[in-house]
Amino acid sequence: MARRSSFATRMAQYQRELERQQRAEERAQLQAVREAERAQRAYERARAAEEKEQRRLYVESRVAEVEARNAELEQLVERLEGLLAATLDVDDFLDFEVLKVTPDVPFFQPGGLAERTPEPDEASFMPPEPSFLHRLLPGAKAKHELAVDAAKAAYA
């Protein structure tokens, strides 16, 4: 005959099943955390290796640049050392008198400047004589005399 299970047995069995599932979830979470930590460490190791490689490549490029510049400098020094030896065999006297150029300056043609400017005419500075009606105005004679004095000063 089949055994009948009671409600308490079923509940105990259900609770054991829940605990098993809970332990399995905790194990899965711990496994995921360990995997994440392992991946993070691997990333940091790779990044450190990449930085180390970058530094090594930078140093190599600088060393190559220095070697190239040193080679250029050595070539320049050799050329400069050979320059003196090459000029000792040749008489390279330099006559500066031959290099001087005497300029061909044309005779000065003053053109219109050769003629003297005419002396200014005193009459061109003087104000015109007042007309008959103008002389009848009061103070016109004094104004005319002032204008004549100013014209004489300008002419002087």
Confidence of residue 1 (pLDDT cuts 50, 70, 90): very low
Task: Look up residue 139 and give its DSSP letter.
Answer: T
CA diameter of the chain:
166
For 37-95, write each residue's pLDDT tens digit.
Answer: 999 999 999 999 999 999 999 999 999 999 999 999 999 999 988 887 887 777 777 88
Which pair of tokens denotes residue 135? 């002389």
- The alpha carbon of 148 is separated from its chain's Cα centroid by a whole number of angstroms, namely 67
Q: Note if the pTM is more than 0.75.
A: no
The tens digit of pLDDT for each residue in 94-133 reads 889 888 999 999 988 888 888 888 888 887 778 888 887 7
C-alpha 128/C-alpha 11 separation (Å) is 141
CA dist 130 and 144 (Å) reads 8
| Structural domain boundaries in the chain | 7-98, 123-156
Cα separation, 83 vs 101, whole angstroms: 30
